[in-house]
Structure 1
Amino acid sequence: MIFSSINQNRLYLKVADQILDLIKQKDFSKGDKLPSERILSSELGVSRPTVREAMVALELADMIEIRTASGIYLKHAATKSAKLLIDGGPGPFEILEARQIFEREACALAAKRISDEQLDKLEALLDAMLEENESLSPTEKADEEFHCEIAKASGNSAIYQTVMWLWQLRNESDLVSHFHKQTRMDGIRPIIEDHKKILDALKARDTEKSRAAMDEHLHRVIESLL
């Protein structure tokens, strides 16, 4: 396979377009298995999260099918004129990376400023999260409220509004919503133990432990989604 190296500052859509070009050039047929994300990441010179975002864009465009623990398969043969038509907003991993930056600092600030009432609310949201995880039709509403409540408890309205906006991006983007819907179908749920560690650190009013707990949690989320 011959790929041209992709500049790191380009978005996942550039990667998706080049993979689409590969499909056209190599005359892949319906049902053919495509190179793995790891191979594509190496060949294209971009990170695996970027390749994963590109694959989700192609899946949402109904070009490919991602089969867990099996691989990536071409759903429809691509015509020479085929184009990728999808919104160009931030991808799911871009949003997660941004959340990791803002939410770990929000958590550190919250450790100093959170009220007892807010701690009680987080405790209730943790219980709600567990119930959601066990539901036959799981959502992540309690997870979202848990994270946004911590951002609110930081006492910094700019950070709070930024975290709210990142969750809004996550919920309103077709690409990102599709991605998280698929991960829920694959059995990936909010990690209760991680959220309990975050809550325990906040209860202890420990700034460093709170920052570390949130940072480790979101890093684990990124790794699990890969």
Structure 2
Amino acid sequence: MTTGASDPQKLYQQIARAIATSINDGRYGPGDKLPSERELADDFGVSRPTVRDAMIALEFQGLVEARQGSGVYVNATTAPGADDSAEVEVGALELTEARRLFEGEACALSAATVTDDNLALLDQIASQMARSFAPDEVERLEQEFHLAIARATGNAAIEAGVEDLWTLRLQSPTCVAMLRRARAHGGGDFVEEHRQIIAALRQRDPKAARQAIHAHLAQVIDDLLAVTELDALQQTRQKMAEQRRELARRTEI
């Protein structure tokens, strides 16, 4: 079985849906163990990290659960025919680009309206970020940080807009998985980037505040592109290895 996706960012979403269909069709029943990561990678003709991201997406949908040292199992509470269409069709790159545009202006406006209490809250959140390592906790704190900036504008529409973007981000298994991988392989200093945003807000400098949040989200985009390139490279290597095995098999005939 192979996939027809040319965009690595969407590839594991397709795999997740294919596996979800197999679960809903009864090929894998509640409590059944799914094939290994390596077997699924061979089956779909993709890299193992791509399969791993598909498993994360399925976990977010509640279809499977990963058991450490044992494998991935179909959730015992999964109902046949469960709808997997709730996933939001939005990619991590396009969402981050939208955040860069919208939150950049929100941050610039906040620089003119931010209070000392707002800044104290942002300092507190950044300190918690520095002590947090669990992905769920880091994502919660980052959301709280950016919503606090939007709230500091005093504009309910801006706050709602930023909140909607974060809802899209957190509801999409594709975004969550891709952004977690990007952060794990990232080249930036996540906490320091947020402290630079606070520093610009403390100066009450709209231009500097906009630039600080643009720099932070530009780094996220760079990290996403790096992970996408890594996936493509791994898939190319896997295809070449398969070709070598096939050539070796032919020479033995």
TM-score scaled by length of structure 1:
0.63
Contact conserved, 1:56 with 1:179, CA < 8 A, in 2?
no
**Quick one: structure 1 residues 64 and 180, their matched pair in 2 at CA, closer, same or farther if it must change by over 3 Å?**
farther
The aligned residue for residue 128 of structure 1 is: 128
- Looking at structure 2, the residues matched to 123 and 212 of structure 1 have their Cα atoms a distance apart, in angstroms, of 19
The aligned residue for residue 66 of structure 2 is: none
The aligned residue for residue 115 of structure 1 is: 115
Contact conserved, 1:129 with 1:192, CA < 8 A, in 2?
yes
Amino acid at match of 1:53: Q
Aligned runs of 1:38-49 on 2, under 5 Å?
Answer: none
The aligned residue for residue 168 of structure 1 is: 167
Find out whether 1:218 has 2:217 as its counterpart.
Answer: yes
- Looking at structure 2, the residues matched to 137 and 97 of structure 1 have their Cα atoms a distance apart, in angstroms, of 22
**Quick one: structure 1 residues 119 and 182, their matched pair in 2 at CA, closer, same or farther if it must change by over 3 Å?**
same
- Aligned-pair CA distance for 1:222: 0.9
- Looking at structure 1, the residues matched to 124 and 90 of structure 2 have their Cα atoms a distance apart, in angstroms, of 31
Contact conserved, 2:88 with 2:171, CA < 8 A, in 1?
no
Contact conserved, 2:111 with 2:204, CA < 8 A, in 1?
yes
The aligned residue for residue 155 of structure 2 is: 156
**Quick one: structure 1 residues 64 and 197, their matched pair in 2 at CA, closer, same or farther if it must change by over 3 Å?**
farther
Amino acid at match of 1:92: A
- Looking at structure 1, the residues matched to 149 and 130 of structure 2 have their Cα atoms a distance apart, in angstroms, of 18
The aligned residue for residue 20 of structure 1 is: 3
Amino acid at match of 1:116: D
- Aligned-pair CA distance for 1:140: 1.6
- Looking at structure 2, the residues matched to 204 and 64 of structure 1 have their Cα atoms a distance apart, in angstroms, of 52
**Quick one: structure 1 residues 149 and 136, their matched pair in 2 at CA, closer, same or farther if it must change by over 3 Å?**
closer
Moved more, 99-108 or 85-94: 85-94
Give the % identical residues.
31
Contact conserved, 1:64 with 1:72, CA < 8 A, in 2?
no
The aligned residue for residue 178 of structure 2 is: 179
- Aligned-pair CA distance for 1:148: 0.8
Amino acid at match of 1:216: A
Contact conserved, 1:108 with 1:211, CA < 8 A, in 2?
yes
**Quick one: structure 1 residues 205 and 89, their matched pair in 2 at CA, closer, same or farther if it must change by over 3 Å?**
same
Higher-Rg member (1/2): 2
Aligned runs of 1:44-63 on 2, under 5 Å?
Answer: 51-61=7-17, 63=44
- Aligned-pair CA distance for 1:21: 3.7
- Looking at structure 1, the residues matched to 209 and 136 of structure 2 have their Cα atoms a distance apart, in angstroms, of 31
Structure 2: which 5+ runs fail to align?
Answer: 20-43, 55-83, 226-253
| Structure with the higher helix share, 1 or 2 | 2
Amino acid at match of 2:178: F
Find out whether 1:98 has 2:98 as its counterpart.
Answer: yes
Amino acid at match of 2:127: D
Contact conserved, 1:92 with 1:170, CA < 8 A, in 2?
yes
Moved more, 137-146 or 160-169: 137-146
Contact conserved, 1:125 with 1:142, CA < 8 A, in 2?
yes
- Aligned-pair CA distance for 1:124: 0.2
Amino acid at match of 1:110: S
Q: Could you report, residue by residue, the CA deviation over 1:107-133 in whole angstroms, capped at 9, with x for unpaired residues?
A: 000000011101000000000111113
The aligned residue for residue 196 of structure 1 is: 195
Amino acid at match of 2:166: W
**Quick one: structure 1 residues 95 and 196, their matched pair in 2 at CA, closer, same or farther if it must change by over 3 Å?**
same
- CA RMSD between the two structures: 3.0
Moved more, 216-225 or 86-95: 86-95
- Looking at structure 2, the residues matched to 143 and 89 of structure 1 have their Cα atoms a distance apart, in angstroms, of 22
TM-score scaled by length of structure 2:
0.57
- Looking at structure 2, the residues matched to 64 and 160 of structure 1 have their Cα atoms a distance apart, in angstroms, of 43
Contact conserved, 1:107 with 1:150, CA < 8 A, in 2?
yes
Structure 1: which 5+ runs fail to align?
Answer: 1-18, 23-39, 41-50, 76-84
